Chains A and B, each alone.
Chain A
């Protein structure tokens, strides 16, 4: 079967850096995406990696290693508003997206 694994919960301190890992096992691979979802809100696209390496978008960066079937989302200079759930998702074929179960990020002042 196809699956993605990510931690269920991560806790960090405001102003710090946190990394959320994602490992995947899928029949095909056409990119790893990250989404943010605040409580009561909709998932919002954050970033996407199709090739190995680091993609940076402001305070958020995403990394991919296809040989390790692994990626991570790095959040820097954490702010209280970053408290949310973060989902990784892999596209194994056209139109399909396989989702992780989400990581709840708790930020403490």
Chain B
């Protein structure tokens, strides 16, 4: 029973292509996040949704578009992929406004742009 599951685990694609990553959580949490971790392992918040409402939208190229159809799902679509988009993308979830201290992460989706 995976708590936060994201697919696919690996993506290898060419520059200019479009790709999507899906995330689902079965913890009953109301807040979900997308993080990017680069090769230096720095974790950078990209987006956060609370009950389908966008609450955090960091400085991210508008080629990245999140969508949350319901509070258990958060997807990430990336248009016109660039070499610099290569990274591991983590989905995470938490409960409530004060719950951000305790995040549950998915296993990650490693994106390689060639």
A102 to chain B, nearest CB (A): 5
Answer whether residue B107 sits at the interface, using C-beta atoms and an 8 A cutoff: yes
**Residues of B31-73 contacting chain A, CB below 8 A:** 31, 40-45, 48, 50, 55-56
Give CA–CA (A85, B37) in the complex, Å: 13
Cβ proximity bits A74-109 to B, threshold 8 Å, 1 near / 0 not: 000000000001010101001111010110000000
- Contact status A95-B56, CB under 8 Å: yes
B96 to chain A, nearest CB (A): 9
- Contact status A91-B42, CB under 8 Å: no
Q: Which of B11-19, B75-83, B97-105 contacts A (4 or more CB under 8 A)?
A: B97-105
Answer whether residue A7 sits at the interface, using C-beta atoms and an 8 A cutoff: no
Q: Which residues of B contact A35 (CB under 8 A)?
A: 103
A47 to chain B, nearest CB (A): 10
Q: Which residues of B contact A33 (CB under 8 A)?
A: 101-102
- Contact status B43-A87, CB under 8 Å: yes
Q: Which residues of A contact B100 (CB under 8 A)?
A: 91, 94-97
Of the four ranges (under 10, 10 to 19, 20 to 34, 35 or more), the interface on chain A belongs to 20 to 34
- Contact status A97-B101, CB under 8 Å: yes
Q: Which residues of B contact A102 (CB under 8 A)?
A: 41-43
Report B's interface with A, CB cutoff 8 A. 31, 40-45, 48, 50, 55-56, 90, 97-98, 100-108
26 contacts between A and B (CB under 8 A): A30-B101, A31-B101, A33-B102, A35-B103, A41-B108, A42-B105, A43-B90, A43-B103, A43-B105, A45-B102, A85-B41, A91-B98, A94-B97, A94-B98, A95-B31, A95-B55, A96-B56, A97-B45, A97-B100, A97-B101, A99-B43, A101-B41, A101-B42, A102-B41, A102-B42, A102-B43
